Amino acid sequence: MPSDLERIAAIDDPYRLIRAATERLNAAQQEVTELARLRRRVIQELHAQGISYAQIAEQAGLSRGRIHQIKHTGPAPEGAFLGTGAVTVVTPLRLDPEHNRPMLTLDDMRSGKRLEDLARSFGLAVASDNVPVDGRIDLNRPGLLVICGPRMSEQMRAAYDTDPVIRWERDDLGWLLRDTRTGAVYRSGSQTTPPQPADSAYLGRLPRPDGGGTFLAIAGIHPNGSLGVIDLLASEIATLWGQVGDRRFSTVVSVEYDPETGEPVRTQLAAPLYRHEDDHKEDHEDD
């Protein structure tokens, strides 16, 4: 079987060859990034277990200095919290009532851009997409990072309904998040009296409808909450990765923001970090 290089070199059409070579280069660069991330992660894990750099180097056939260099340089392992290789950041389009056409609000644009920048900082290839006004979105794609609540999309509402712990609900005051394990309810500061510059937001990794993987879901009750989640990710992603890895989970993030700019000034986990696999194990044990 010919190698990719041989296959591409055999293409007669020069323009097809250029396209094929570019696509393969992009794929190869993503593979190199992920292999470097994987190597660094394993070295860190071995060292955390008490194995010295000298021992790792001897077993891996590398110098101690090279092992130490790998541990402190290259793509950070926690970037895999967002995905591997390539990711797509999805934000919702809203209907402009004045012109009766779809638009991307400034708040959603700001959240999407910051999440894209965060993903790029970990060496991930980043694309963008939108949830159309009708809410229809194909969630059966790899590497999705979706900033969208249940109100904007029926598909997202169905995905959130698969969460075994954190639930979206709605009452006379508006949307809220409920921790079904503790009974705690999380609301937006706009629902309090007097109103407060605060919001609550969902952060979780949910199963794709086709069962072929997962996607990351982010949604504030209001856009300030989504922005706060991304602010939390920027500062705490290593901790989150250490606790849940690439497994399914969910939690609630509390966000305090500047009422003038909407920028988050304080973000923290308001609910426990629930790993969904743990819930499935408990259900199995109860059977």
Model confidence at 284, pLDDT cuts 50, 70, 90, reads: very low
Task: Choose the weakest-confidence range: 1-15, 60-74, 176-190, 225-239.
Answer: 60-74
* 89 three-state secondary structure: strand
CA nearest neighbour of 251 among 243, 263, 261: 243
Q: What does the pLDDT read at residue 281?
A: 52
Q: What does the pLDDT read at residue 156?
A: 97
Give yes or no for residue 286 having a pLDDT over 70.
Answer: no
What tokens does 16 get? 């097809």
CATH number of the structural domain 80-286: 3.30.379
Q: What does the pLDDT read at residue 279?
A: 59
Parse the chain into domains and list their residue ranges: 4-75, 80-286
d(CA 247, CA 257): 30
Q: What does the pLDDT read at residue 41?
A: 82
Burial class (CB in 10 A: 0-12, 13-18, 19+), 133: middle
Give yes or no for residue 285 having a pLDDT over 50.
Answer: no
Contact indicator for 145, 79 with CB cutoff of 8 Å: no
What tokens does 54 get? 């000298």
Any idea what the Cα angle at residue 218 is, between residues 122 and 113, rounded to 5°?
A: 50
- Rounded mean pLDDT of 171-198? 95
d(CA 269, CA 80): 20
Model confidence at 204, pLDDT cuts 50, 70, 90, reads: very high
pLDDT, tens digit, 9 for 90 and up, residues 93-144: 988 887 788 888 899 999 999 999 999 999 899 999 999 999 999 999 999 9
Give me the percent of the chain exceeding a pLDDT of 70: 96
pLDDT, tens digit, 9 for 90 and up, residues 224-280: 999 999 999 999 999 999 899 899 999 999 999 999 999 999 999 999 999 998 655
Q: How many residues does the chain have?
A: 287
Give yes or no for residue 24 having a pLDDT over 60.
Answer: yes
Contact indicator for 224, 255 with CB cutoff of 8 Å: yes
Q: What does the pLDDT read at residue 93?
A: 94
Amino acid at 5: L
- List, in order, residues 6 or more apart from 225 with CB less than 8 Å away: 188, 199, 200, 201, 219, 253, 255
What tokens does 79 get? 């970037």
d(CA 134, CA 75): 38
The overall pTM is greater than 0.75: yes
Q: What does the pLDDT read at residue 283?
A: 45
